[in-house]
Amino acid sequence: MTPLSGEPLDRKLQELLSEDVGSGDVTTAWTVAQEKSARGRLIARSACVVSGLPVARRTFEMLDPDLAWEEDAFAGASVAPETTLAMLSGRARSLLTAERLALNLLQRMCGIATATRRYVEAVAGTRCRILDTRKTAPGLRAFDRMAVADGGGCNHRDGLFDMVLVKDNHFRLGGGIAAAVAAARRQSPPGMPIEVEVESEEDLRQALQARVERILIDNQTPETVARWSRIARRSENPPLLEASGAITLDRVRAYALAGADAVSVGALTHSVMAADVALELEPDD
């Protein structure tokens, strides 16, 4: 999935603005003069990793094409509390109407990037990568994935369309691991990777026998991951090994040291704590 930009970004932001603005921002229209200008700054009230400033900028520009914007931080930067992220000026009504959506996206993206950075730092010095999952907010996946990348993580599959991931329900309904993998391999285009989720050593051996490119070890202890990693490394074509399943920050390094090439963390996006980012506005006379 290509990061949102250009026309696709504008369409998404228009959809989100329509949800918030509806028939009009009555408070702003009834209290602020149409000719009024304003200037302001976006401030990180909490320490965070920066993500989403171009998205916030475009949100304001959707309502004020003449917006003046000066960015003071870059994507992926770690900033301290009270850091100015950007300065902006433009039509007061437009800034007020766009404020909530811009902040919602910016706070969420900075929160995801910050959480991701903590996991990335926890596995530093190992070969393990931190992956996101499809456990994203509906309609916000592209933003969530951008934030994970800004935090130093890696994006897993975009969706259901660009990679085969045979999970337990698939092979239960599809006649077993061997049958499900064979069926997927017959129909998938060249180069599309096939991954199988395993929850037992027997599942693991069947996935190895099917010669899949990736194996997802789900809901196992680091000790089990280490044992299964040794088994997988002895195969003729060792697959990439991914660990998942309620892996918390305090335990992720143990999985990396156990031999996981990657750890996927749903909490990066499904349980994100938004960063505290504010917009301070004042008249620009």
Whether the pLDDT of residue 5 is over 90: the answer is: no
pTM of the model: 0.95
pLDDT band at 3 (very low <50, low <70, confident <90, very high): low
Residue 185 is a catalytic residue: no
Domain count, the chain: 2
- Residues 264, 133: one domain? yes
Structure tokens at 181: 């993998």
> In whole numbers, what is the pLDDT of the chain averaged over residues?
96
Q: Which of 36, 157, 167, 205 is catalytic?
A: 167
- Residues 106, 173: one domain? no
Residue 117 is a catalytic residue: no
Residue 225 lies in a domain: yes
Structure tokens at 237: 């074509």
Residue 1 lies in a domain: no
Residue 135 is a catalytic residue: yes
- Residues 131, 112: one domain? no
- Residues 131, 113: one domain? no
pLDDT band at 62 (very low <50, low <70, confident <90, very high): very high
Residue type, 78: S
User: For position 209, which CATH number holds?
Assistant: 3.20.20.70
User: For position 77, which CATH number holds?
Assistant: 3.90.1170.20
Compute the average pLDDT of residues 61-84. Answer: 98
Q: Which of 25, 61, 150, 197 is catalytic?
A: 197
Residue 145 is a catalytic residue: no
Q: Which of 36, 135, 157, 185 is catalytic?
A: 135
- Residues 142, 266: one domain? yes
Q: Which of 10, 121, 218, 284 is catalytic?
A: 218
Residue 231 lies in a domain: yes
Q: Which of 36, 41, 100, 118 is catalytic?
A: 100
Query: What's phi and psi for 225, nearest 5 deg?
Result: -60, -40
- Residues 171, 262: one domain? yes
Residue 245 lies in a domain: yes
- Residues 138, 237: one domain? yes
Residue 103 lies in a domain: yes
- Residues 161, 249: one domain? yes
pLDDT at 285: 75
Q: What is the 3-state secondary structure (H, E, C) of 65-130?
A: CCCEEEECCCCCCEECCCEEEEEEEEEHHHHHHHHHHHHHHHHHHHHHHHHHHHHHHHCCCCCCEE
- Residues 277, 266: one domain? no
CA dihedral over 191, 192, 197, 202, signed as positive or negative: negative
Task: Give the range of the structural domain holding residue 279, as residue numbers without chain letter.
Answer: 6-120+273-283
Residue 12 is a catalytic residue: no
Closest CA relative to residue 140, chosen from 161, 162, 119, 109: 109
Whether the pLDDT of residue 1 is over 60: the answer is: no
Residue 132 lies in a domain: yes
Q: Residues near 260 by Cβ (< 8 Å), separated by ≥ 6?
A: 128, 217, 225, 229, 241, 242, 243
Compute the distance between CA of residue 284 and CA of residue 251 in angstroms, rounded to an integer.
Answer: 51
Whether the pLDDT of residue 2 is over 60: the answer is: no
Which of the 8 DSSP states describes residue 264?
E
Q: Residues near 13 by Cβ (< 8 Å), separated by ≥ 6?
A: 55, 58, 59, 62, 101
- Residues 211, 136: one domain? yes
